[in-house]
Amino acid sequence: MKIMVIGAGQMGGGIAQVMAANNHVTYLNDISMELIHKRVDFIGAILQKNVDKGKISPDQRMETLSRILPTISLDDAADCDLIIEAIVENMEAKASIFSKLDLICKPSCIFASNTSSLPLTEIAACTNRPDRVIGMHFMNPVPVMKLVEIIRGLATSDETYEVIKQLAKDIAKVPVEVRDVPGFVSNRVLQLMINEAIYCLYEGVATPQGIDTVMKLGMNNPMGPLELADFIGLDTVLAIMETLYHGYGDCKYRPCPLLRQYVKAGWYGKKSGRGFYQY
Q: Say if residues 86 and 15 touch (Cβ distance below 8 Å).
A: yes
Per-residue pLDDT, 252: 96
Helices marked H in 67-157 — which ranges?
Answer: 91-104, 120-124
Average of per-residue pLDDT across 207-212: 98
Omega within 30 of 0 (cis) for the link into 58 = no
Which residues are part of the catalytic machinery? 116, 137, 149, 187
Per-residue pLDDT, 276: 98
pLDDT digits (tens, 9 = 90+) for 26-43: 999 999 999 999 999 999
Q: Say if residues 263 and 213 touch (Cβ distance below 8 Å).
A: no
Strands 82-85 and 110-113, bridge-based pairing: parallel
How many Cβ atoms from other residues are within 10 Å of residue 99's Cβ? 12
Residue 112 among known ligand-binding residues: no
Per-residue pLDDT, 260: 98
Residue 203 among known ligand-binding residues: no
By residue count, the chain amounts to 279
Per-residue pLDDT, 44: 98
Residue 8 among known ligand-binding residues: yes
Per-residue pLDDT, 224: 97
Per-residue pLDDT, 91: 94
Average of per-residue pLDDT across 2-16: 97
Q: Say if residues 214 and 206 touch (Cβ distance below 8 Å).
A: yes
Domains in the chain (CATH in brackets) are: 2-179 (3.40.50.720), 185-271 (1.10.1040.10)
How far is it, in rounded angstroms, from Cα 31 to Cα 29? 7
